[in-house]
Amino acid sequence: MSMHDTDISDVELGYLDAALWSSTHDDGEPLDVMGVEAIHPDTRKAMLADVTAFVKANRALLIASGLHDSQIGHDFWLTRNRHGAGFWDRDLGDIGQQLTDACAQFPEVFFVCRRRRKDPPMIIELNINLNVIGRRNSLADCNSRAFTAIAYLGAHFVNADASRRQAQVEGDDGMLHDQDILLARVHTGNATVEEILRKIAVLSAELEQDCIALRWPDNFEGVLVGPKATTWGDWDESLFQRFDSNVAY
């Protein structure tokens, strides 16, 4: 942690990540498959307030600990909630004990999973990248992932239509790379927004994708859903490719 660093976004992300993977949904499924976008804005605001208060009150100790920002957020959540890991088991000696004592000033907290009262949109659109970094991406491999995605969507929602499209995406190396993208239009039935996000997050993990782009056609809003959605930044409407019903898969 830098002495002059006043941006605690990395601390907050570590805190949110630890909160999600150490918590479960009503059916026992870990919440980390849903991603931070599933956290209610008011809840996230309260979590950020706690993180900010903890960092400001203990900045000297945190700097002396030598921990990375994300580790600080991670350990703050675990220690304040009396989990079996945290500041106290990092071999930090007296510093670890002082940080543990500081966390005791914050009460234990937990998530409450609720269904949204309003009806969710009935239709969603998806962009699913069929290429996987570090895996074979032959035509046969992409076909297999496409069939897996279509089967999953058909099994978990009312119905799904899909088409394929080739696109060029700029990679980390600054070069354009060909991408095979599955475009889907899905009828979600009576599923709540939380259920939709959770199911799409599970699909993203099954396909070994960082995230899947989801768009609500009715209000022109979208979100990235998946285990590493936060690493891709905010939703960008200009990058989303619309489903074309005239091009069936």
pLDDT at 212 over 90: yes
The pTM of this model reads 0.53
Separation of alpha carbons 198 and 193, rounded Å: 9
Q: What are the structural domains of the chain?
A: 9-103 (no CATH), 123-239 (3.30.70)
- Burial of residue 135 (number of CB atoms within 10 Å: 0-12, 13-18, 19+): exposed
Mean pLDDT along residues 92-98: 93
pLDDT tens string 117-163: 445 558 999 999 999 988 898 999 999 999 999 999 999 998 899 99
Task: Answer yes or no: are the C-beta atoms of 187 and 157 closer than 8 Å.
Answer: yes
**Predicted pLDDT at 248:** 47
| Banded pLDDT at 4 (limits 50, 70, 90) | very low
